[in-house]
Amino acid sequence: MTLSEHEIDEILYFAIFANTGAYLLRKLRQNASVQRLARELSVGSIESLANRIFSSKLDTNLDLAFAYSILGAISFHGIKERTLILKVCRPEKINLGAQIVAEMQAYYPNVHVAKGRLASTVLVQRSANIPVSISLANSLPSVKRIETSNTSPPSSVSLSKF
Amino acid sequence: MILQIGQGTTIPLATSQGNSIDNVQHPCTPDLADQHWDSVFAKRHLSAKPRAKMSGRYNCHGMVFASRRTRIFSANEVQKIITEDSYIDVTLENVLEGDFILYQEEGDIIHSGIVIEPPSATNMYNPLVISKWGSGREYIHRGNDCPYPFMVRYIRI
């Protein structure tokens, strides 16, 4: 999957001028490219794409646009049995990312955002029945603290909403 | 699911009643060439005149309510400031220079700016505003010539 120059500009246009995470997430979810990404790729595929994109240096506009698209796309999927870790090598390049993550609580009420000592944002969703893979989380040295919830996982956000 | 994205610094910031306001300073812009985005914005917003550099340190709400020192990224925090600082709504015909303009969508305050030419019959009730567009530049622009829908209200203390 790729994005045209116009699609890249559309996504980054929102990413630059959005003043609140809620507004940006709303615009991303309304974006046709983001909807296509969510529709065409499974959670696993998005996860693979995310791990590739977010571990890159985000040096190109295409990577940046994909980074934002992924944040929008995963909000459509009910992720309740997976542990998805997106480690960003250059967090300053998607500086609205943390705000989007915070706003994702609207879609995943059981998600908790914890602010670590470095003001990094860690978002954890934990099912009562399916433990989060803490060992995987702990393999990331930059993850300082994890807060979990024992409440039930939220219901999925259906793509049929479009 | 674990996401770890974005880093920033929070500074002490409070309403006039002493309650803290969530905020964050981002270290830089999204690292996209100003020139590229200047041309994109120029094509889309013909009357907008840029001023200052692109900056991730503050956004529109940070410009209006925090003296350009940080980003206020939650509409709820903006509402808290409006309530606790006792801002009042100003009717269209009574708007003056220096009043604040708030853009709203789906109940959220998505953008804010400072009025520098009030709405009047002369400008077809389309005020001149200075505001900051997210991580982009500050712009002097007509109220309806910016990336945000022109559904607005005006406030002052």
A162 against B145, higher pLDDT: B145
Q: Which of A5, A9, A16, A19 to mutate to test the interface with B (most CBs of B within 10 A)?
A: A19
Distance CA A50, CA A43 (A): 10
pLDDT at B53 over 60: yes
Cβ-defined contact of A12 to B32 (cutoff 8 Å): yes
Cβ B24 vs Cβ A105: under 8 Å: no
Q: What does the pLDDT read at residue B117?
A: 98
Q: Please name the residues in contact with A68: beta carbons below 8 A apart, sequence gap of 6 or more.
A: A11, A12, A14, A15, A24, A28, A94, A96, A97, A100
Cβ A71 vs Cβ A27: under 8 Å: no
Q: Please name the residues in contact with A41: beta carbons below 8 A apart, sequence gap of 6 or more.
A: A1, A49, A73
Backbone region of residue A110 per phi and psi (left: phi > 0; alpha: psi in -120 to 50; beta: other values): alpha
Cβ A69 vs Cβ A37: under 8 Å: yes
Q: What is the pLDDT of residues B76-135, one digit of tens each?
A: 899 999 999 999 999 999 999 999 999 999 888 999 999 999 999 999 999 999 999 988
Provide the 3-class DSSP secondary structure of residue B155: strand
A84-101: burial string, b at 16+ Cβ within 10 Å, e else: bbbbbebbbbbbbbbbbb
Q: Please name the residues in contact with B124: beta carbons below 8 A apart, sequence gap of 6 or more.
A: none
By CA distance, what is A140's nearest residue in B?
Answer: B4
Distance CA A75, CA A72 (A): 6
Q: What does the pLDDT read at residue B54?
A: 80
How many contacts does A have with B, using Cβ atoms within 8 A? 147
The β-bridge relationship of strands B138-142 and A85-87 is: unpaired
Residues of A in contact with B80 (CB under 8 A): none
Nearest to A92 among B7, B105, B111 (CB): B7
By CA distance, what is A146's nearest residue in B?
Answer: B2
Q: Please name the residues in contact with A119: beta carbons below 8 A apart, sequence gap of 6 or more.
A: B7, B8, B9, B10, B24
DSSP string, B8-48: -B----B-TTS-B---BB-SS--S--HHHHHHHHHHH-TT-
The ipTM of this complex is: 0.83
CA-nearest of A148, A81, A103, A121 to B110 is A103
A49-79: burial string, b at 16+ Cβ within 10 Å, e else: bbeebbeeebeebbbbbbbbbbbbbbbbbeb
Cβ-defined contact of A16 to B3 (cutoff 8 Å): no
Q: What is the mean pLDDT of chain B?
A: 87
Nearest to A119 among B9, B37, B54 (CB): B9
Q: Please name the residues in contact with B39: beta carbons below 8 A apart, sequence gap of 6 or more.
A: none
Distance CA A136, CA B89 (A): 51
Cβ A109 vs Cβ A103: under 8 Å: no
Sorting pLDDT into bands at 50, 70 and 90, what band is B1? very low
CA-CA-CA-CA torsion sign (A155, A71, A44, B2): negative
Tokens of A139: 């393999």
Cβ-defined contact of A84 to B2 (cutoff 8 Å): yes
Distance CA A153, CA A99 (A): 22
Q: What does the pLDDT read at residue A129?
A: 33
B154 against A122, higher pLDDT: B154
pLDDT at B66 over 90: yes
Sorting pLDDT into bands at 50, 70 and 90, what band is B42? confident
Q: What is the dihedral of CA B18, B23, B27, B31, to 10 degrees?
A: -150
Provide the 3-class DSSP secondary structure of residue A122: strand
Q: What does the pLDDT read at residue A80?
A: 47
Q: What does the pLDDT read at residue A37?
A: 87
Sorting pLDDT into bands at 50, 70 and 90, what band is B38? confident
pTM of the model: 0.74
Provide the 3-class DSSP secondary structure of residue A50: helix
Cβ-defined contact of B3 to A86 (cutoff 8 Å): yes
pLDDT in tens, chain A (162 residues): 788 888 888 888 888 888 887 788 888 889 999 999 888 887 777 777 777 776 666 667 787 788 788 878 877 775 544 444 444 544 555 555 555 555 554 444 444 443 332 223 334 443 333 322 222 222 223 323 333 333 333 333 333 333
Tokens of B114: 């400072």
Q: What does the pLDDT read at residue A61?
A: 77
Residues of A in contact with B58 (CB under 8 A): none
